[in-house]
Amino acid sequence: MAKKILVVDDELQIVKMISARLTALGYEVSTALDGNDALKKAKEIPPDLIILDIVMPGLDGTDISQILKEDKTTANIPIIFVTGLLDKKEAGNIHYSIAGKYFLAKPFDSNELINTVRKVLKEG
């Protein structure tokens, strides 16, 4: 059965790029362009992983992450944050993490994304 991934970003181009790449690899992808839609989708059908932009209007990625962690049905869903707040030099490498949370600095290439997704989902 395909792993389910929720992609959340307010930039449609980024959502489309990530979705296309993950779908091509056999993942079941759902998307959200804002925090409220992300929370609704995560609670309706909890994904195996969430790829989450940090800086978005309204509820940002940190708000969404906190709300999800406080709900027992979504508390254990791993999150990969994507952000323009860190650059490649600050991130250091594609598996940069803070307090167990993974971060990808924008812009990232699809190989960085896939390697991080596989690491988080423990697929090798």
Q: Where are the domains of the chain?
A: 4-120
Q: What percentage of residues in the chain have a pLDDT greater than 90?
A: 63
Class of domain 4-120: alpha beta
Each residue's pLDDT tens digit, 4-19:
999 999 999 999 999 9
pLDDT in tens, 53-94: 998 999 989 899 999 999 999 999 999 998 876 555 555 544
DSSP state string for the chain: -PPEEEEE-S-HHHHHHHHHHHHHTT-EEEEESSHHHHHHHHHHS--SEEEEES--SSS-HHHHHHHHHTSTTTTT--EEEEESSS-HHHH-STT-EETTEEEEESS--HHHHHHHHHHHTT--
